[in-house]
Structure 1
Amino acid sequence: MAFYLIMSLGAAAGLFFLAGADFVGAMQLMIYVGGTLVLLIFGVMLTAQGPFISMKTRGGDWILAALLAGILLALLIPAAFSVPAWRNRASPEYLAGVHERPATSAPLAMGLVGARVDRLAEADVNRREGMSGYLLPFEIVSVHLLVVLVGAA
């Protein structure tokens, strides 16, 4: 049941993205979908203890998982490099106008890759080069801590 709730909330976020309300869609994903997912993980961790203790993984399962992961990686890497906007670094003309478009997801994306969104309007190229934020490392550490917490249970 909770999985279907996560899927429907994710679909609602997708509708917000399609409607052009990127900020509302991102908040829908982070608050509602993320919160429901964390509650689902904690619910499984705290209630289902018996079946997970006796679960064994055979060698063939690891081989199958590695094969499927390799196939998925072989499909995703060419697809990612085929996007023209991802081939080159963002031009200074594009970065200069990001702060003027608050209704788009561009400031959120720039923050995730480490740029300080509050200083994107700097006219001096040298001052803009040294900008770095800590949002992406923070997200990586938070996901790592969640994985450690789930693995410790």
Structure 2
Amino acid sequence: MAGAVVLLLTATACGGGDDEGGAAQSGPSNVAATVPGVVAPAKVEVIADLTGCKVRIRTEADELREGVCRTKRGDYLITTFPEERLKLTWLDAAAVYGGKYLVGTRWVVSAKPELLEQLRPQLGGKIQELQGVGPAPGPSGQ
């Protein structure tokens, strides 16, 4: 029985991706984690629930959904995407601002670095630092 489940998960995770309709997929392809045992799907409400937040949806668009969390630990923004390529485009645009983000498959959490470290064990993903643009800081004290 376990072998059949693994086979089914493998088959569905590797399937499709060229669906012209752009309909949201469900199942194993919606999950991501680089921390063993952690599976955070690309759904704002589920990610918020995993972090103990009652989310307020801020943006509802075809390209992304954003939810704001205000907690005792700090405030953070959860952004999810219907396709991985849209997340990569968003990260590319966010690189202008620099900073650190917690990134999973089809989702990004924006917060202060200390909070990202606290959320990572709950969500999985990896902390990614974006460089930003503009002049590099010069030596101080001249």
Same fold (TM over 0.5): no
> TM-score, normalising length from structure 2?
0.27
> TM-score, normalising length from structure 1?
0.26
The structure that is helix-richer by fraction is 1
Q: Specify the structure having the higher radius of gyration (Cα).
A: 1
The structure that is strand-richer by fraction is 2
